[in-house]
């Protein structure tokens, strides 16, 4: 159990811990919890290729040609899911590299290799669950978009191209 002196010292230290002050420092700290990015709320992580993301976005907008806010939101969702799946595949490919299993700076024993293999297998199971979940959500978004578009087309109501503020 901490003494009164330790408690007072902890309180004094806590007063000095204010965290980052600059915008740059706050932005850096905000990424501290990112482990793999599969569940990140942002579609594009700082180290990802913006041009590739924009190309995907353009292709999907061209393919689905959304009209109105609801369709645009569904296409945005599909794009985000596709990008997350791409991220899952990259993580999986990186995880399966043989040089990740064997650390050549250490003396590799059979037990060490086995432990790393088991750890790797568990990580891949979790990744597989994420992948399945994202695929289901994407399929649902595609289904919803196709339903909304077919309903709009069946009604034959001419809809003007939506503006960005729709």
Q: What is the model's pLDDT at position 117?
A: 61
Domain residue limits at 146: 37-155
| Within a domain: 136 | yes
Global confidence as pTM: 0.62
* Distance set, CA 72 to CA 14, 18, 153 (Å): 47, 41, 16
**Residue 166 is assigned to a structural domain of this protein:** no
CA–CA gap between residue 130 and residue 36 (Å, rounded): 11
**129 in any annotated domain:** yes
Integer-rounded Cα radius of gyration of the chain: 24
Q: Can you give the pLDDT at residue 87?
A: 85
What are 157's two structure tokens? 């109501």
pLDDT number for residue 77: 94
Number of folded domains in the chain?
1
CA 89 to CA 127: how far, in whole Å? 9
Asked if residue 23 is part of any domain, the answer here is no
CA angle 77, 78, 81 (to 5 degrees): 85
Does residue 65 form part of some domain? yes
Q: Is 3 inside a domain boundary?
A: no
Question: Is there a domain that residue 6 lies in?
Answer: no
Question: Residue 85 corresponds to which tokens in the numbers above?
Answer: 């799946």
Please report whether residue 58 resides in a domain.
Answer: yes
Smallest CA-to-CA distance from 64 within 81, 76, 50 is with: 76
């Amino acid at each position: 159990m901490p003494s009164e002196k330790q408690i007072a010292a902890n309180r004094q230290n806590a007063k000095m811990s204010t965290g980052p002050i600059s915008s740059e420092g706050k932005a850096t700290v905000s990424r501290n919890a990112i482990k793999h990015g599969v569940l990140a709320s942002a579609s594009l992580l700082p180290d990802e290729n913006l041009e590739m993301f924009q190309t995907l976005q353009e292709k999907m907008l061209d393919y689905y040609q959304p009209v109105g806010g609801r369709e645009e939101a569904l296409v945005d969702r599909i794009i985000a899911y596709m990008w997350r799946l791409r991220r899952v595949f990259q993580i999986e490919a990186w995880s399966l590299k043989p040089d990740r299993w064997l650390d050549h700076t250490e003396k590799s024993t059979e037990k060490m290799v086995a432990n790393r293999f088991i750890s790797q297998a568990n990580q891949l199971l979790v990744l597989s669950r994420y992948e399945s979940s994202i695929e289901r959500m994407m399929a649902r978004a595609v289904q919803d978009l196709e339903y909304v578009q077919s309903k709009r087309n069946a009604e034959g109501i001419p809809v003007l191209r939506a503006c960005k503020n729709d």
